[in-house]
Amino acid sequence: MRKVFQTELQHVNEELTQIATLVEQALIQASSSFLNADVQEAEEVISNDARIDFLQNQLDERSIDILALQGPVASDLRMIVGTLRMSSSLERMGDLARHVAQIARMRFPDKALPDSIVPIFEEIIECDKKIIKNVIQLLETRDLAYVDAISTAKIRINELHQSVFDALAAEEWGHNAQVTIDVTLASRYLERFGDHGVSVARKVTYLVTGDWNTLS
């Protein structure tokens, strides 16, 4: 019975990693559609988000079944509860990628960003890509060395996010309200994407160490 239980836990982690991999693909396509005004990629991201939602619901149902039928304790209980919370963060990351793609679709055939601010967003996106890539590695290996890389990327995103608002507040910002709204929302979506990546990293840290104090 214990062997079956451990197999179920392994399947849960594999499904969590699968969701994270789909989120990575969503970010790659959403950012490409956003920067390049590619409506086809935007449509794919929006359509494929249903797959992430389905897998998250499936994973949550499996986790709840394990809680109900197996009565896990100690580290195994932490694993199941942590999985439920991590799957929610990953699903939200998929939603945020979809939101970015929706901006690209709404502005097509025009690009959503003024040329002057594109370099800032390109760097934010690269940091988000680093975060989700390291999240996947963290889920696969439970090697906490990946947590530092995630935290470092998020710190840089925070700086870049602030620089977006500095640009919006500058006297030379002469774009209309719609452009300003698009830039503001996109920056917020990409910043929050990183926040949820950090949240997943903190949950894995807790699963490995069993200590909430390591999450500060």
Mean pLDDT, range 186-214, rounded to an integer: 89
**CATH code (residue 160):** 1.20.58.220
Q: Could you read off the pLDDT of 93-111 as tens digits, one per residue?
A: 999 999 999 999 999 999 9
Domains in the chain, number: 1
**What one-letter code names the amino acid at 26?**
A
43 in Cβ contact with 105 (< 8 Å): yes
Mean pLDDT, range 199-213, rounded to an integer: 84
pLDDT at 216 over 50: no
Q: Give whole-number Cα distances, 116 to 68, 104, 105, 164, 168, in Å.
A: 55, 17, 21, 11, 11
Q: What is the DSSP letter of 176?
A: -
**pLDDT band with cut points at 50, 70 and 90 for residue 71:** low
Q: Which of 70-79, 120-129, 165-174 has the lowest mean pLDDT?
A: 70-79
Tell me the DSSP string of 140-159. HH--THHHHHHHHHHHHHHH
Q: Could you read off the pLDDT of 120-146 as tens digits, one per residue?
A: 999 999 999 999 999 999 999 999 999
pLDDT score, position 73:
65
**pLDDT band with cut points at 50, 70 and 90 for residue 3:** low
Mean pLDDT, range 40-55, rounded to an integer: 96
Tell me the DSSP string of 64-110. HHHHHHH---HHHHHHHHHHHHHHHHHHHHHHHHHHHHHHHHHHTTS
Torsion angle in degrees (nearest 10) through CA of 165, 171, 172, 174: 80
**What one-letter code names the amino acid at 195?**
D
Structural domain including 158 reads: 2-215
